[in-house]
Amino acid sequence: MKIDILTIFPDMFAGPFAESILRRAQDKKLVKIKIHNLRRWAKDRHKTVDDRPFGGGPGMVMRVDIIDKALTALGSGHKILLTPQGKTFNQQAVASLSRKKHLILVAGHYEGFDERVRNLVDEEISIGDYILTGGELAAMVVVDAVVRLIPGVVGEKESVKEESFSRALGGLEYPHYTRPADYKGKKVPEVLLSGDHTAISKWRAEQAKKRTKQRRPDLLR
C-alpha cells in the first residue's frame, strides 16, 4: 500500500511513523508512507496556504487552489479529508481502507477548509466528536489503524482476526490475563488455565458480550 499525507506540519509525523509496527511495516516494504508539505504548492514568497474568510469572521481558511494542485500532483489515490464534520471512523472503515492500494490524506489546520475542497476528495473522516488543533493527529490514527490490517504487518494473524471478530459483532474485546496466575489474591479465571479451548472460546464470547453491555451498550444497539 502507498499512503501520502498532505500537511503544513510534516515534522509532527517523524516520531510515530518511525516506531513499532508502523516502522516494521515500512521496513518490510508492506507500506510506503510519504509526508508532503502543503506549502510546496504555494507560489508566493511566504508559501501561503490559507487566507481570511470571505464575509469576515475569526481565523484563517485553507485555500482550495493549493490543495487542488497538491492532490492533482499526487495522482488518483483514494482521497480523504480529516475533519470533525466527517463520518465517524470505526473498524468497518478501517477494514475497507486497508484494501485500498493508495490513500491520500489531507490534514487541515486553522479554522478549516474552503468548502470547495470537499468536492476534491472521496470521503471525509472524523476520529471523534471533539476538536483537535489540526488534522495531523487524526491522520496518524487512521494510518496506524489501517496499516496493522495489511497482511503480513501484524505477526500473529489470530490477534487481528479476533479483534476484527469482536468488532464485527458490534462489541468490545474480552479481558486478557497473563502471569502471574495469582497476584495479591486476584486470580486468573480457572477456565483460562484448563486447556479446554472450546470452553475458553465460550467464556471469551460471554465476557465480550458482558463487557460491551456494561461499558458500551450503544454498540449492541
Domain CATH code at residue 98: 3.40.1280.10
* Mean pLDDT of the residues in the chain: 92
Q: Are residues 199 and 107 in the same domain?
A: no
With cut-offs at 50, 70 and 90, classify the pLDDT of residue 219.
Answer: confident
Q: Are residues 141 and 174 in the same domain?
A: no
With cut-offs at 50, 70 and 90, classify the pLDDT of residue 168.
Answer: low
Burial state string for 32-58 with b = 16 or more CB within 10 A and e = fewer than 16: ebebbbbeebbeeeeeebbeeeeeeee
Rounded average pLDDT over 88-101? 96
With cut-offs at 50, 70 and 90, classify the pLDDT of residue 162.
Answer: low
Q: Among residues of the chain, what percentage have pLDDT more than 70?
A: 93
| Host domain of residue 179 | 169-220
Does the annotation list 122 as a binding residue? no
* Size of the chain, expressed as the number of residues it contains: 221
Does the annotation list 132 as a binding residue? yes
Residue listed under C-alpha cell 472460546: 201
DSSP-derived letter for residue 82 is: E
- Using alpha carbons, select from 118, 217, 112 the residue that is nearest to residue 170: 217
Asked whether residue 97 carries a pLDDT value surpassing 80, the answer given is yes
With cut-offs at 50, 70 and 90, classify the pLDDT of residue 5.
Answer: very high
Q: CA-CA distances (angstroms) from residue 38 to 3, 15, 84, 112?
A: 15, 20, 20, 15
Residue 156 belongs to a domain: no
Give me the pLDDT at residue 160, please. 65
Asked if residues 22 and 147 have their Cβ atoms less than 8 Å apart, the reply is yes
Number of domains in the chain: 2
Q: Are residues 116 and 179 in the same domain?
A: no
Does the annotation list 127 as a binding residue? yes
Q: CA-CA distances (angstroms) from residue 79 to 6, 49, 72, 149, 168?
A: 11, 19, 11, 19, 25
The upper half-sphere exposure of residue 181, i.e. CA atoms within 13 Å in the direction of its Cβ, equals: 6
Rounded average pLDDT over 68-93? 96
Give me the pLDDT at residue 157, please. 59
Separation of alpha carbons 70 and 105, rounded Å: 11
pLDDT in tens, 172-186: 999 999 999 999 999
Q: Are residues 142 and 209 in the same domain?
A: no
Q: Are residues 54 and 134 in the same domain?
A: yes
Asked whether residue 111 carries a pLDDT value surpassing 90, the answer given is no
Rounded average pLDDT over 42-60? 93
Does the annotation list 5 as a binding residue? no
Asked whether residue 165 carries a pLDDT value surpassing 60, the answer given is no
- The burial class, CB within 10 Å (0-12 / 13-18 / 19+), for 26 is middle
Q: Are residues 115 and 197 in the same domain?
A: no
Residue 164 belongs to a domain: no
Separation of alpha carbons 156 and 134, rounded Å: 34
Q: Are residues 102 and 202 in the same domain?
A: no
Q: Are residues 113 and 37 in the same domain?
A: yes
Among 101, 117, 147, where does a domain finish? 147
DSSP-derived letter for residue 57 is: -
Give me the pLDDT at residue 115, please. 95
Give me the pLDDT at residue 220, please. 82
| Residue 107 grid coordinates | 490534514
Does the annotation list 130 as a binding residue? yes
Does the annotation list 128 as a binding residue? yes
Give me the pLDDT at residue 221, please. 72
Does the annotation list 65 as a binding residue? no
Please tell me the pTM assigned to this model.
Answer: 0.86
